[in-house]
Amino acid sequence: MGHSKVLYALDEQGHYAATPCSGWEAEEIVLDQAIAEFERRAADAWQRARQGRGSALEYHMYHRRMDLVLLAQSTGFCKWRVRRHLRPGAFPKLSDRCRQRYAEALGLTPMQLDTLPEQP
């Protein structure tokens, strides 16, 4: 990314100084791993939604780097309700108000929430 951050490191005289640094091996690996895990879940959910075994909501949830617990917390719904809404049967029957809450929490328009993109 070329994004730099600050590391506290010793200079030649052995004094600590805030030093810009652009990441190192360990950090890159674990960051890639975390992002890959979200992408894997989103891709799985996309696949399921395509085949009618999952909902677009589930895809959007992982796409926004959330999970069931986080989505429940950020909408204010309880977990079992969110779990139900994630099922392909329940999702299209959601009321506009529920839909609005999901859309708000995920930063999408209600229209976007209903649709699955062409690519995961």
Partner 1 sequence: MNAAPAPLDIGIPFDHRQSAHCESGVIASLLRHQNVAISEPMAFGIAAGLGFAYLPFVKFGGLPLFAYRMPPGSIIRGLTRRLGIEMHFETFRQPAAGMQALDQYLSRGRAVGIQTSAFWLSYFPPDMRFHFNAHNLVVYGKRGDHYLISDPVIDIRVECDADSLRKARFTRGVLAPRGLLYYPRYIPSKLDLPRAIRKAILYTTGMMLYVPVPILGVRGIRLVSRKIRNLNPREEHRNKLLLGHMVRMQEEIGTGGAGFRFLYASFLQEAAGVLGKPGLAVIADELTAVGDAWRRFALHAAKMCKGRMPMDYGLLADELLHCAQRERGIYKQLRAEIK
Among 12, 26, 95, 111, binds partner 1 (CB under 8 A): 26
Pick the closer one to partner 1 by CB: 27 or 92: 27
Instruction: Pull the structure tokens for residue 16.
Output: 């600590």
Shortest gap between Cβ of 98 and partner 1 (angstroms)? 15
**Residue bearing tokens 């930063």:** 107
Non-local (6+) Cβ contacts of 3 within 8 A are 22, 23
Q: What angle do CA 62, 84, 77 make, to 5 degrees?
A: 75
CB 47 within 8 A of CB 120: yes
Q: 44-83 mask for partner 1 (x: CB under 8 A)?
A: --------------------xxxx-xx--xxxx-------
Q: If you search the block for the tokens 């506290």, which residue do you land on?
A: 8
- Binding span for partner 1 by CB under 8 A among 30-38, 47-55, 78-86, 88-96: 30-38
Residues that bind partner 1 (CB under 8 A): 1, 3-10, 14-16, 18, 20, 24-27, 29-31, 33-35, 37, 64-67, 69-70, 73-76, 105, 107
